[in-house]
A and B are shown apart, each in its own frame.
Chain A
Amino acid sequence: MSADLERFTRFLLRRAARYNAPPESPREAIWTGVDAAIRPVLDARRVGETPETTAGLATGSDDDLVGAVQDYHAPPVTPHDEMWERIESAWDLRRSAPVAVRGAGLDELDVPLANEARRRRSVGWMTGVGLAAAMVIGIAIGRTSLGPTPAVVPDGPVVAAATEPGPEAVGTTLSADAESPATEEFEREPLETALTPADGPTVDPSVRLVSADRTLPEAATPGGPTAAESSVRRPAASWNVAVRLATAKHLGQAETLLTSFRADTDGVPVDDGAELSGWARDLLGETRLLLDLPVERGARERELLEELELVLAQIARLGPDAPTFERDLVADGIVRQGTIARLRAAAPPGVGEAVGT
């Protein structure tokens, strides 16, 4: 086998040289673009200015042009007070939901990450709005795709009840109110569709649908699901579809980030270092939102999300000037855990792209 690979490698090196074989580089053409872009930067360095100043761009006959374009999208006076009020109110809301890193041995990450999370609160809001939009779309898809189906009466009774009898359960036990308006609103759906394991919880985490356990005593109308149960089960299914889509989309984005992170340069503080950290922070907030959603997940998915949270937290902490060994540590951890492969398996290409993108 290895001899075969050796032979193949020799063949490959000979043959693959033609792969995307580059022509001679058009160096003058490229230099024109490079020179135009770096000239102001180099000029500013020579005279000791900061390269970002517009003065560096204003050279010779271009003065008039630069002066003229100053009005283009000219920013108004910054509304400091108005923005600060919004920031404060958002901050207060954010503080009411504590930020914490799950998992053992992460205490040292809590403080900086909480600070980071607060700094990124506006992004968190946007993420929340995005997720909510995805879920609304999911619910709409769920409602339309499931559609009215012929009434299917299961073999045995399916009971809507609280998981554990207790005071809080009594209050939330679904009653079989045949007169409920929800009766007309939702049709019953096949048992196999409605009662998949992931469909367990409803929007209200204290309410559970007890499904396949036919040994339970009947607590509702015998002979089939109650109208109230149907009315709860349909939104629950839609909710789960929406959460699954949002999760798949999120995992796909995380996979792209981790792949970029691994391919990114080491110890080269170009813009991407900061971009990746910012991106990781955004995804970190989204990961926490997903973890906090009242939905029942498979153990594997939850474990993956928790591991992702840790990895994203690590990447978020790395700035463009992070030492090489720190980046190596994170990258090695990703490789060792096979995180990227597991993300790919959990979110195959295309899954979730239909929503929100």
Chain B
Amino acid sequence: MTEPQLVQRARDGDHSAARALYDAHVDRVFRICYRFAGEDHLAQDFTQETFVRAFTKIETFRGEAKFGTWLGSIATTVSLNGLRKVKRFRTRETDLVDDFRAAPSGIAIEPDLDERLSRAVDDLPEGYRTVFILHDLEGYTHEEIGRMLGIQSGTSKSQLFRARNRLRDELSDFAGEWAS
């Protein structure tokens, strides 16, 4: 059975079609959610929410894009919105924790490259980070990202360019790693 047929059957309330669509796309959706969230339980929550929304609103899927791209766009929105809520909560928590953590002697421990890279990606502006994750880590094309985020593909390209530039600046201490 083709994907459009599955979509149509899911629209008509067919559980098995919904399950088939879920099976076909859950890994991809979970990957996106996990890339954004970085935590298993959050990624699971976001993935679940993505599919619930998708199946609840499946009649609004017009078939202009691939079903996977449509799901990807929902997953991105759900993850970003979910993370905003989590961040607001955690910012308050972090403030409290920081009060207890006094820097003992000002000795700065240089984190390794992976840690610095992770932090640099975390600190990217939301738009840059979104495009970077979808393009460089998850392999979506600029056209797909454009459709997912509602931006022009050129905008996606420029966001990615800026994201990479910013990461390079942030990691300039490690320039030897890629220059060699």
Seen from chain A, the residues whose Cβ lies within 8 Å of a Cβ on chain B are 4-5, 7-13, 15-20, 22-23, 25-27, 29-31, 33-35, 37-39, 41-47, 51, 256, 259-260, 262-272, 324, 327-328, 331-332, 335
- Min CB distance A256 to B, Å, is 8
Tell me the complex Cα distance, A46–B17, Å. Answer: 13
Nearest chain A residue, comparing its CB with the CB of B55: A38
Tell me the complex Cα distance, A43–B15, Å. Answer: 8
A265 touches B40 (CB 8 A): no
Instruction: Given contact pairs A41-B13, A42-B13, enumerate 4 new A-B contacts (beta carbons under 8 Å).
Output: A22-B31, A41-B55, A268-B74, A324-B150
> Which A residues are in CB contact (< 8 Å) with B26?
25, 27, 30-31
- Min CB distance A28 to B, Å, is 10
A327 touches B150 (CB 8 A): yes
Nearest chain A residue, comparing its CB with the CB of B125: A259
A12 touches B167 (CB 8 A): yes
Tell me the complex Cα distance, A10–B137, Å. Answer: 12
Map CB proximity to A onto B123-163 as digits: 1 under 8 Å, 0 otherwise.
Answer: 00011001001001100000000111111100100000000
| Of B30, B80, B114, the contact of A25 (CB 8 Å cutoff) | B30
A25 touches B150 (CB 8 A): no
B12 CB–A CB distance under 8 Å: yes
- Between A and B, 17 residue pairs with Cβ closer than 8 Å are A7-B178, A9-B164, A12-B168, A15-B114, A20-B35, A22-B43, A30-B26, A30-B48, A31-B26, A35-B19, A42-B18, A42-B55, A46-B12, A264-B150, A265-B74, A265-B150, A266-B149
Tell me the complex Cα distance, A5–B62, Å. Answer: 40
> Which A residues are in CB contact (< 8 Å) with B101?
none
Map CB proximity to A onto B9-38 as digits: 1 under 8 Å, 0 otherwise.
Answer: 011111100110011001100110011111
A8 touches B74 (CB 8 A): no
Tell me the complex Cα distance, A248–B117, Å. Answer: 32
A267 touches B64 (CB 8 A): yes
> Which B residues are in CB contact (< 8 Å) with A51?
56
> Which A residues are in CB contact (< 8 Å) with B114?
15, 18
> Which B residues are in CB contact (< 8 Å) with A262?
127, 149-151
Tell me the complex Cα distance, A268–B35, Å. Answer: 22
> Which A residues are in CB contact (< 8 Å) with B34?
20, 22-23
B98 CB–A CB distance under 8 Å: no
> Which A residues are in CB contact (< 8 Å) with B56?
37-38, 41, 51
B36 touches A16 (CB 8 A): no
Tell me the complex Cα distance, A47–B13, Å. Answer: 8
A20 touches B36 (CB 8 A): yes
- Min CB distance B123 to A, Å, is 12
